[in-house]
Structure 1
Amino acid sequence: MFKTALVVPLTVTTLLASLPGNSAASPKKLDQVTSVSQLEDVRPTDWAFQALQSLVERYGCVAGYPDGTFRGNRTLTRYEFAAGLNACMEVITQLLQENTDAVDQEDLATLQRLQREFDRELLSLRGRVRSLQSRMAELEANQFSPTTKLSGEAIFALTDSFGGDADTQTVFQGRVRLNFNTSFTGRDLLVTRLQAGNSGSLGLTNTNSGISFSHPTGEDVQASQVFGDTDNTFVLDTFAYMFPLGEKISVTLAANAGIFDDFTPTLNPYFEDFDGGDGALSAFAQRNPIYRLGGGAGLGVKFRPSHQWEFTAGYLAANASDSGQGSGLFNGDQATLAQVTFRPSDRLGVALTYNHAYFSEGNFGFDNGGATGTGFTGTTLANQIGATNAIDSDSVGLQFAWRVAPQIQLNGWAGYTNVELLDSDIDGDIWNGALALAFPNVPIPGNVAGLVVGVQPYLSDLEGLNDVFADDPPFHVEGFYKLKISENLSVTPGFIWLTSPNQDSENDDAVIGTLRTTFRF
């Protein structure tokens, strides 16, 4: 009697210790086992081995963790105990319905006693289960897809410029993005983004020492204006698939509008939002412009051997779907990027980036491989250097991000691009750089104040032609304050001050004022 009475409570206790994953609080799903030998951390010498073996073989209501362990020594809460008791009762009830002799009477008596003792917890647990079942039924009945999540962003921006050589009017522009994020395994991600809007640049000065250009400067382009003018027609903006290879490698396959920052860290927190409406106002302040040299379809690979080190490499072709001469995946405009990122701590990160690219005649520009002729950042000269020549470019960038204090974030970068005008033996240099200071959660959690001071990409030292154009550094000063109204709504007023537009100090400074409202769901 003593041995039997002892074994039964141990059996139930061991059962309940094995079932915390059946409660709502457990972070991991437990897997049913059919033999105690499947549990790697259970040994025949363990004090509850026989009891556990009896539960597994007689009642089949013992589960293990996905890694094959049992973890029988962990601390158990009363609600977890009740969850295990409830699971065991359901199994035994089913066995009794099939065969009244299938359950040991002493085990049944023990469970009935425990049921009375934990009656309150069981009642609460069953109420929670019914509530969850009801919510799950509602979600399943109204879900968009079992594998796809729909998210979206809508931006409304009121913008005007003051000063400068262009007489612009106040504009009210908008852009909307719909993202269909699909996962088939829980670790992969298929991104399909539709985008529509009427958001375009203001078209500021395009002169330099008397030289007139067919395209305006890209210095005034805001993040929401990057491919933002689709004449209010939805277009396929992004189509990419991301998946892991093991624990340390991830791969990105971009079929349309791929960009290097899809898989490469830009180390610009609070300012980088992938040209969305939750970061800096301008496209320039989002990231080092050398990330914008190239884009389209291709492949990106990220290798992270440790928490401190990350290696990224990618290849993107702007005309990969075009089978014509001088196009395709390898014979058209193309760019290759490699980056080493080092994070010695959670507060500091440093990255060294190299970008090599080829652009056919008229296609060079800091425009994500879009061949806009204007660029999303930089002077007209910097983006029009290849107007009549094909270009080979080599760029290097250094980025850093430093969390100085909980409410102070300092970011910065420096970028250099050497351009070679093919068939002319002429080289030129394009420089850019910035320092960005953010004050997150000031004074309210979720709000962010930001300040950026930098030099937009500008052309200098063009071999044999330095006297033809001015190469005054075009400084960029930007300030904004993102006010978080709710989880789905933010309002961001701010300004952009441009000195020496189009790298010519003879041009009047320009100041751009913006009030941006962003809806996210």
Structure 2
Amino acid sequence: MKSKLLFKSLLVTPAFLGMALLGAASANASATLLESGTFSLTPETQNLDVAAEAIPAIAAADLVAPVQADTTDANLVQEILAAPLTVAQAAPNANLDQIERYSEPVVGLDSMGQVTSISQLRDVQPTDWAFQALQSLVERYGCIAGYPDGTYRGNRALTRFEFAAGLNACLDRINELIAAATQNILTREDLLVLQRLQEEFAAELATLRGRVDALEARTAELEANQFSTTTKLRGEVIFGLSGAFGDEKANQNVDIDDNVVLAGRARLNFDTSFTGRDRLRTRLQAGNHISFTGATGTNMARLGFDTNTGNDFELDVLTYRFPIGNAITGWIGTTGLAADDVAPTFPTLLNSSGQGSISRFGQRNPVSRLPDGIGGGLSINFSPRLNLAVSYLTDDGNSPLPKDGLFNGAYQARAQLSYTGNTFGIGLSYARAYMPGEDVNLTGSTGSINAIRPFGAVATSANVYGVEGQINLGRRLVLGGWGGWFDTERETGGSRSADVWTWAGSVLFPDLGARGNLGGVVFGMPPKATSGPNRDRDTGYHLEGFYRFRVSNNISITPGVIVLFNPEHNDRNDNIYVGTLRTTFSF
């Protein structure tokens, strides 16, 4: 733990550290400089936040020849490297936070590891003033690391604590060299410079080492009591206070069941990684939130988080994501693998059932809700912004019965080309789908019953086309929308086709009122059969508004309301209203 932390700390140490460590122009010059405590800064180092009297000016090209080891040098080595720092030398406790901050890598970047050749640092040129110093540190001492993009970034400003972190890493490396009895690697002048540096930065070094010791103790305690070395537990619990209201159920002359309910859903994700780049997800789910389909007579009234397992935990997701080279990610799942796992969705802020839209229809484009659960896929990055996702998914791929299995049951073969920019994202998708008669659910239980089953319980195939996108107009305004067309065909009992269409638009307000909040309005047409033997003769609309208020980093409360105009695309049906107060706990 200690060596890893200090090794990463060296990332922020500029090249002049090497200038200080590599020796003096001559023994006499070194002695004079050490006594006077003065040195000159080159123009490139004027912005470095290090005390000017701390480091002598040293030219790497003028190193003297290594001296033979004798009793004097051995004593000097012991004095510099073996003597522990006293408590009196430690910096105040207030410096601990600075040490922790400065010893971390730049946000979003990690070390590329030990550099073995100066040529690996592509932003270091032979004409740079510190080139020889860096070359010696790399090839002679082996205590220089770079960033993943192959740069060293030697022009960054430096603080005393950052310098102490880098110095400590080099001291550790020199300890290793001495312990290995490496010959002719250190000069007496090197040791004198190290002695001066260690004295100057004694307080910072003591604070740094104390911090590392504390981290090692905490790490040991965590390792002794950890759940797993490879698995992290992530959970989400939803409490929903909900109700449906209106006059009569859709297409029925009976009153809506307008009882207010309190129900919930719990999800436990066990995310396991074996290489650091892969993920095995095992999700357990339990809930008792009954869908409002029966209470209202339409699937259009479904909430995004309704789940009813009788509060029994079930295996909801078992998927494995793994890299194939640097540009391809593979997916395989035996349950719970969906098209939106492999391909991105737009608008991205709506897709979460616990944090996004309150309705099932408002979460994402219904064209992605074709048969899924079992299968695999590939996500191919042509560039950081351009992605192609392909997947083959089934809902009964585990069953050997007739009209089941991977290739004889309901399936979808899907491809989506996506562009994701800083302010703009778009996805274009095509899917080929087939559903046996008893499994027909074309739109994933969204829209009218005629859209879900255009020909009834009859084997149905479809070519499905989708487009979706979003535009970020600043940090606090996002416009999004989607459209979908299901070109369906009856597979048995005669040749007949039917078209199903859907669209929606949304206006989202990230950080509305406070950071982490989200306001949103979704308006659209749930899937509608526009042609075919069971076409919908009228047009219904979905209007939804919600506001997610973040109580803390782990708790959010989302009040929201859904209004269904002409439910089931029938203007003889009364409007239906669904309200909910969703409370989400994340851990």
State TM-score, norm by structure 1. 0.84
Q: How does 1:498-517 map to 2 (within 5 A)?
A: 498-517=564-583
Partner of 2:66: none
Q: How does 1:32-431 map to 2 (within 5 A)?
A: 32=114, 60-65=141-146, 71=152, 73-75=154-156, 77=158, 78-93=160-175, 104-163=187-246, 164-165=248-249, 166-204=256-294, 216-225=297-306, 228-273=307-352, 276-343=353-420, 345-366=421-442, 375=445, 377-423=446-492, 424-431=494-501
Alpha-carbon offset, residue 319 of structure 1: 1.3
Q: How does 1:452-463 map to 2 (within 5 A)?
A: 452-463=522-533
**Code of the aligned partner of 1:191:** R
1:112-149 Cα shifts (integer Å, max 9, x gaps): 11111112221232232223223322332332222211
Change over 3 Å in CA distance of 1:229–1:90 after alignment to 2 = same
Alpha-carbon offset, residue 51 of structure 1: 6.3
Q: Conserved in 2, the CA contact under 8 Å of 1:357 and 1:393? A: yes
Alpha-carbon offset, residue 30 of structure 1: 5.6
Unmatched tracts of structure 2, length 5 or more: 1-23, 31-55, 64-100, 250-255
Change over 3 Å in CA distance of 1:134–1:235 after alignment to 2 = same
Q: Distance in 2 between matches of 1:217 and 1:352?
A: 29
Partner of 1:372: none
Q: Which moved more, 1:184-193 or 1:476-485?
A: 184-193
Q: Conserved in 2, the CA contact under 8 Å of 1:364 and 1:385? A: no
Q: Conserved in 2, the CA contact under 8 Å of 1:32 and 1:64? A: yes
Change over 3 Å in CA distance of 1:95–1:346 after alignment to 2 = closer
Q: Which moved more, 1:279-288 or 1:388-397?
A: 388-397
Change over 3 Å in CA distance of 1:474–1:37 after alignment to 2 = closer
**Code of the aligned partner of 2:218:** R
Q: Distance in 2 between matches of 1:39 and 1:247?
A: 19
Change over 3 Å in CA distance of 1:3–1:22 after alignment to 2 = farther
Matched, 1:484 2:550: yes
Secondary structure at the residue paired with 1:399?
strand
**Code of the aligned partner of 2:305:** S
Q: Which moved more, 1:332-341 or 1:94-103?
A: 94-103
Q: Distance in 2 between matches of 1:68 and 1:456?
A: 46
Change over 3 Å in CA distance of 1:195–1:67 after alignment to 2 = closer
Q: Conserved in 2, the CA contact under 8 Å of 1:22 and 1:30? A: no
CA RMSD of aligned residues (A): 3.2
Change over 3 Å in CA distance of 1:98–1:499 after alignment to 2 = closer
Unmatched tracts of structure 1, length 5 or more: 15-20, 207-215, 369-374
Change over 3 Å in CA distance of 1:145–1:22 after alignment to 2 = farther
1:278-303 Cα shifts (integer Å, max 9, x gaps): 00100100011111012021122222
Alpha-carbon offset, residue 387 of structure 1: 3.7
Q: Distance in 1 between matches of 2:430 and 2:527?
A: 16
Structure having the larger proportion of residues in strand: 1
Structure having the larger proportion of residues in helix: 2
Partner of 2:513: 443
Alpha-carbon offset, residue 107 of structure 1: 2.4
Change over 3 Å in CA distance of 1:509–1:56 after alignment to 2 = closer
**Code of the aligned partner of 1:506:** R
Change over 3 Å in CA distance of 1:92–1:349 after alignment to 2 = closer
Q: Conserved in 2, the CA contact under 8 Å of 1:39 and 1:68? A: no
Q: Distance in 2 between matches of 1:479 and 1:54?
A: 64
Query: Which one has the largest radius of gyration?
Result: 2
Q: Distance in 1 between matches of 2:139 and 2:390?
A: 52
Q: Distance in 1 between matches of 2:364 and 2:562?
A: 16
Change over 3 Å in CA distance of 1:134–1:410 after alignment to 2 = same
**Code of the aligned partner of 2:143:** V
Change over 3 Å in CA distance of 1:472–1:258 after alignment to 2 = same
Q: Distance in 2 between matches of 1:299 and 1:62?
A: 44
Q: Distance in 2 between matches of 1:252 and 1:491?
A: 33
Q: Distance in 2 between matches of 1:93 and 1:349?
A: 53
Q: Conserved in 2, the CA contact under 8 Å of 1:175 and 1:199? A: yes
Q: Which moved more, 1:38-47 or 1:191-200?
A: 38-47
Change over 3 Å in CA distance of 1:122–1:251 after alignment to 2 = same
Secondary structure at the residue paired with 1:224?
coil
Q: Conserved in 2, the CA contact under 8 Å of 1:204 and 1:220? A: no
Q: Distance in 2 between matches of 1:302 and 1:311?
A: 6
Q: Distance in 2 between matches of 1:69 and 1:439?
A: 39
Q: Distance in 2 between matches of 1:99 and 1:247?
A: 41
Change over 3 Å in CA distance of 1:502–1:205 after alignment to 2 = farther
Q: Distance in 1 between matches of 2:504 and 2:117?
A: 61
1:140-171 Cα shifts (integer Å, max 9, x gaps): 23322222111010001011111132223111
Change over 3 Å in CA distance of 1:109–1:239 after alignment to 2 = same
Q: Distance in 1 between matches of 2:418 and 2:112?
A: 37
**Code of the aligned partner of 1:3:** S
Q: Conserved in 2, the CA contact under 8 Å of 1:497 and 1:512? A: yes
**Code of the aligned partner of 1:503:** H
Alpha-carbon offset, residue 360 of structure 1: 0.4
1:213-269 Cα shifts (integer Å, max 9, x gaps): xxx4211111111xx111111111111111222332222112212110011112113
Partner of 1:371: none
Alpha-carbon offset, residue 81 of structure 1: 2.2
Secondary structure at the residue paired with 2:437?
coil
Alpha-carbon offset, residue 518 of structure 1: 0.4
Q: Distance in 2 between matches of 1:181 and 1:23?
A: 28
Identity score, percent: 38
Q: Conserved in 2, the CA contact under 8 Å of 1:174 and 1:197? A: yes
Secondary structure at the residue paired with 1:323?
coil
